[in-house]
């Protein structure tokens, strides 16, 4: 069973305000990396994210399009959690809720 690495979860939260959800269906989300987050995304270890966030099964990176496709277990990481992360860019006040929900995934 996967165990959460707090650093990886923190990276995901830090990156979220620098992303835009392009397409989302339960179980798969395509995320565009905005120019403000491009360097940060390049420095992230996507394999570690798969290994250390329960529910994420695959991440495909398209560096040319600056996008990620994340496949996830919709029961472990519900659709509305991704939608809440989407709001982080315009509403930093949701960060504590997102952090708490991600910590619950790790239990």
pLDDT interval class at 66 (50, 70, 90): very high
The domain total for the chain is 1
Q: What is the pTM of this model?
A: 0.85
What is the 8-class DSSP label of residue 71? E
pLDDT in tens, 22-59: 999 999 999 999 999 989 988 888 888 888 888 899 99
pLDDT, residue 3, reads: 66
Mean pLDDT across the stretch 72-89? 89
Could you tell me the CATH number of the domain that includes residue 86?
A: 3.30.1360
Q: Cβ contacts of residue 31 below 8 Å, gap of 6+?
A: 19, 20, 21, 22, 67, 68, 69, 70
Sign of CA dihedral 55, 1, 96, 59: negative
pLDDT, residue 2, reads: 64
Range of the domain at 31: 6-105
Do the domain assignments include residue 1? no
pLDDT, residue 35, reads: 93
Q: In DSSP terms, which residues pair with 56 in a beta bridge?
A: 72
């Amino acid at each position: 069973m996967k165990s959460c690495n707090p650093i990886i979860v923190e990276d995901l939260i830090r990156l979220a305000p620098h992303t835009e959800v392009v397409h989302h269906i339960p179980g798969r989300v395509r995320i565009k990396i905005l120019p403000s987050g491009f360097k940060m995304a390049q420095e992230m270890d996507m394999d570690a994210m798969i290994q250390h966030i329960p529910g994420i099964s695959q991440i495909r990176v398209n560096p040319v399009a600056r996008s990620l496709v994340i496949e996830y277990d919709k029961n472990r990481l519900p659709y509305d959690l991704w939608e809440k992360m989407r709001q982080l860019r315009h509403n930093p006040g949701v960060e504590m809720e997102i952090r708490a929900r991600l910590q619950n995934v790790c239990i």
